[in-house]
Amino acid sequence: MADRTPADDGFFMPAEWAPHERCWMAWPCRDSLWGEGLAAARAAHAAVAKAISGFEPVTMLANAEELEEAQAQCGPGVTCQAMPLDDSWMRDSGPSFVIDGKGGIAGVDWRFNAWGGKFQPYDQDALTAERLLAQLEVSRYAAPLVLEGGSIHVDGEGTLLTSEECLLNPNRNPDLGRADIEDLLRRYAGVERFVWLGEGLDKDDTDGHVDNIACFVRPSVVMAVTCDDPADRNHAILKDNLARLAKAKDARGRALEVIELPLPREPRYVDGQRLALSYVNYYIANGGVVMPRFGDANDAPAFEIVSRAFPERKVVQVEASAILVGGGGIHCITQQQPRP
């Protein structure tokens, strides 16, 4: 679609609580990332897929040689399909779907560079969005912007939530300033107003993806992660983000209500590296929310907070520690396809 943008054609990115056609996932395969944790990561991906399939259809993409194993672990309730992959972060390598509110659907294919070139190779993942949209026979808009789906969150009413640490990082779009990036997001995500948070979680491999620190739960309401330990580096980061949210307005001029969600109580480390554990990294499904648990003292309080925020949905917790070893959570490994 040369030169046309989604906004030109009346498309916008809907909120994640809008009805879904299906959820797309991808089977973990990068040995250099997962190492000895690969089998556990696959079991955790299968558990997430099964949980989501209780609410809506799920398709798991997998390399052809791993398709049989993926299907065996995911079970008959999940569709598995062959597609060449480098790894399993469907939120970031898959398309961002947009709708026009009149029954039309299209997909935005952002440029993917493996979070600033952190992993090689990534050429198959960089083609995932294009391949998937071609398979679905859905119009594709190729955006001239390096961006991962986990770095933005929308309310479906013109407001976009993101972080400076990620979108302004020189390892993504070194030639673009904040105004340039905002302009491209207006045109490709169909948004009008931006709520910029500062940094993401300490030691987050994604350079501060917003889906680990905050998300919209309904129009003008944001759930934001907090940390009550002043000695923890995340304390100051998350306090600053709360201060920014307190001053922010959405596209309709409303102040934002903020629901605070605590981080897990105990920091977790692998090979001396802190994991970016967060309960807000969840998937909103049709009639449900699938959120992580970590065997932590805050698992139950977090479940209660999320359940109260989504009274019309059934909240299910899935053990996600094995996914976090790879640097992401449940939201990071899923991508919703809205029902137009």
User: Which residues have a catalytic role annotated?
Assistant: 332
Amino acid, res. 79: T
Q: Which residue has the tokens 């970031």?
A: 92
Task: Determine the Cα angle at 328 with ends 323 and 333, to 5°.
Answer: 75
Q: How far is CA 101 from CA 113, 141, 340, in A?
A: 31, 17, 7
Count of CB atoms within 10 A of residue 197's CB? 26
Per the listing, tokens 């019309």 go with: 312
**Contacting residues for 270 by C-beta, under 8 A, at least 6 apart:** 325
